[in-house]
Amino acid sequence: MELSQRQLDWFAADSARMKLADLDAGVLPRHLAIIMDGNGRWAKKQGKPRLFGHKAGVASVREMIGSCVQLGIAYLTIYSFSSENWSRPKDEVSGIMKLFVEVLSREVVNLNAQNVRVKLIGDVDDLPAGTKDAFAHCVQSTATNTGLTLVVALNYGARQDICQAVRAIANDVADGDLSLEDVQPELISSHLSTAGIPDPDLMIRTSGETRLSNFLLYETAYTELYFTDILWPDFDREALLDALIDYRDRERRYGGL
């Protein structure tokens, strides 16, 4: 892959540049999805509370955004807070919600500087007012950007998303606006919160866990999966290149021979 000066500046380490040169720009994923797992275990290893790990994980998010921008990846979806995460200790959840506000207030300038557009998926109505307002401001402030689309899955659950799509379609059928024959995979996709976003080509999960955890279940029917033992706060731009090299060597057959 021919490297620009900006790419060389971003992937400055010699080892990273060697991996980058080994990539083929033609087989990079258009849409990368990440389950950012391991913040709590990382903090425990440091003898710190779990929230310390969530704060450390922000740097890895920044690494992924910058790397996707430099590589020309069009969509990056991050699983930032699931609908099941509310069951965690109240002080941890409260800390995460406040952390969102802190991070967004300082990162929106960087997102605009990188021409990144932010989009939300999930049920944001249940979020604390401050968190909801911070995300709304970020989405509005980056709405006209034309580079990387950063999709933030916030209070998101795939099963819940599919249920709301089915309810909307059932209402249309009941009202006579749709027939049963109209209910096809494409119609269901158009009613999901990810409507208009291409399905992920590659999904990465960190920390050694090997499950999807209710994330983009409908959209990942033919997504390539990459699991790594690296805890999220340690997942950096070079670790991403390792995942992309692995993806490059996959043969995507979509159920064919």
Active site residue 37: yes
Contact, 63 vs 105, CB < 8 A? no
The answer on pLDDT for 252 being more than 70 is yes
pLDDT tens, 30-42?
999 999 999 999 9
Q: What is the per-residue pLDDT for 257?
A: 59
pLDDT tens, 190-243?
999 999 999 999 999 999 999 999 999 999 999 999 999 999 999 999 999 999
Burial status of residue 43 (CB atoms within 10 A of its CB: 0-12, 13-18, 19 or more): buried
**Which member of 24, 37, 112, 201 is catalytic?**
37
**Which member of 9, 85, 91, 126 is catalytic?**
85
Span 143-169, average pLDDT = 98
Which CA distances in Å does 56 have to 29, 61, 74, 77?
A: 26, 10, 25, 19
Report the alpha-carbon distance of residue 106 to residue 86 in Å, rounded: 25
Active site residue 85: yes
Nearest-Å Rg of the Cα atoms of the chain is: 19
